[in-house]
Amino acid sequence: MPGFFRESAKSLVIDPRRMGDETSGMNAIIVTTTNSVEGRQITQYLGIVRGIAVRVPTIGQGFQAIGKVLSGNMQAGADMYADLCESARAQAYARLVEHAQGMGADAVIAMRFTSTSVGESAAEILAYGTAVKLG
């Protein structure tokens, strides 16, 4: 999803028009990996926000990757999992923003992603941070 994030100094600003279905109807919100928003004062800490997504490759995706590997494309399986993880990250991020907006936040600071394996082929992606009001 090119253009999904717009970098501004040390902050990431979500551009909902470029994210697809996961963020339809969202308003822009500042999301940063730092503990502050440059040039803005934090007036209230609202609490921790998170977004979780779990992705499992479909049977079709698995067979498609196997077919490509058998035809000589050894990178096919890795590419399929990379696409799957990117989709999960986008959904986890969108859910984080939705959670923050539900709390009335202007921004999310200290945003992080983490991932874990669930079973043999599933991936859980967690996006988390602190929702804040800005002055």
C-beta atoms surrounding 133 within 10 Å: 15
pLDDT tens per residue, range 81-133: 777 778 889 999 999 999 999 999 999 999 999 988 877 777 789 999 999 99
> Running DSSP on this structure, what letter comes out for residue 4?
S
pLDDT tens per residue, range 7-52: 444 445 555 444 444 444 456 899 999 999 999 999 999 999 999 9
Domains present along the chain, CATH in parentheses: 5-134 (3.30.110.70)
The Cα–Cα gap between 95 and 98 comes to: 5
Q: What angle do CA 101, 107, 112 make, to 5 degrees?
A: 100
CA distance to 78, 87, 119, per residue, from 74 (Å): 8, 22, 23
Taking the complete model, does pTM exceed 0.85, yes or no? no
